[in-house]
Homo-oligomer: A and B are copies of this chain.
Amino acid sequence: MEELTERQREILTFIVKESENRGFPPTIREIGEHMDIRSTNGVNDHLKALERKGYLTRGEQQSRSLVPTKRARLLLGLGMKSKDSGMVEIPLLGRVAAGAPALAQEHMEDSVKIDSFLLGGVNGREVFALRVKGQSMIDDGIHDGDYLFVKKTPSAQPGEIVVALIEDEATVKRYYPETDRIRFQPANATMQPIYVNRTDFRSTMILGQVVGVYRKLQGGRT
């Protein structure tokens, strides 16, 4: 793990303390004021460094979206609050049917909490969950009714399992870009791949990348 410089640690401490004392994180300019840094970019350099070293997560174009990571709390010797450490709450979308699923809205009525360890280091805030419908990925061990944990991302690496919006349906497939089209490959010997021409392809079609699968097993049913 990369070490922090004195200045970076000071800023990280300030962010943590402000978050606790005021209830929300500071802005870049507030940090600059406290640290006697006249230029917002001076502060930004530090924030970038903290993010790169894994002590801070940021949102793009979002004010005050500075959230220290677990590692940051450990470094600063601030004991985590009880058993809550490492848990994230994931919005649970029902069995996604037709139409653009409510990714934008994300009503929190239903949610699942999960150990962030099981997400393999992915930031829990960019993950949603949904239930699988159908057998199209059975050869990859993804069954009907399974819970999928999906990292929101508009792109994917070839061969990765993604959730994509195809013909207004959210479906789970493997992603294979080819020269002039995209192949969405089911993992089921009885099913054919779906092809989408690059010209028809919008980045919004890929909703995210599957990072985890959970299946309830009880009473012996598969």
Contact = CB atoms under 8 A, between A and B. Distances in A.
Interface of A: 14, 17, 19, 21-25, 27, 33-34, 63-67, 81-84, 86-89, 104-108, 112-115, 117-118, 120, 122, 125, 138, 140-143, 147, 157-161, 174, 210-220, 222
Contact of A213 (B17, B22, B84, B214): B214
B215 A141 contact: yes
Contacts of A86: 113
Nearest 7 A/B pairs, CB to CB: A23-B67, A160-B220, A141-B141, A63-B63, A159-B220, A113-B115, A213-B215
Contacts of A63: 27, 63-64
Given A22-B67, A63-B63, 17 more contacts: A17-B108, A21-B89, A24-B25, A33-B104, A83-B87, A83-B89, A84-B87, A87-B87, A87-B113, A114-B115, A118-B147, A118-B216, A141-B142, A159-B220, A174-B220, A210-B217, A213-B214
A118 to B, nearest CB: 6
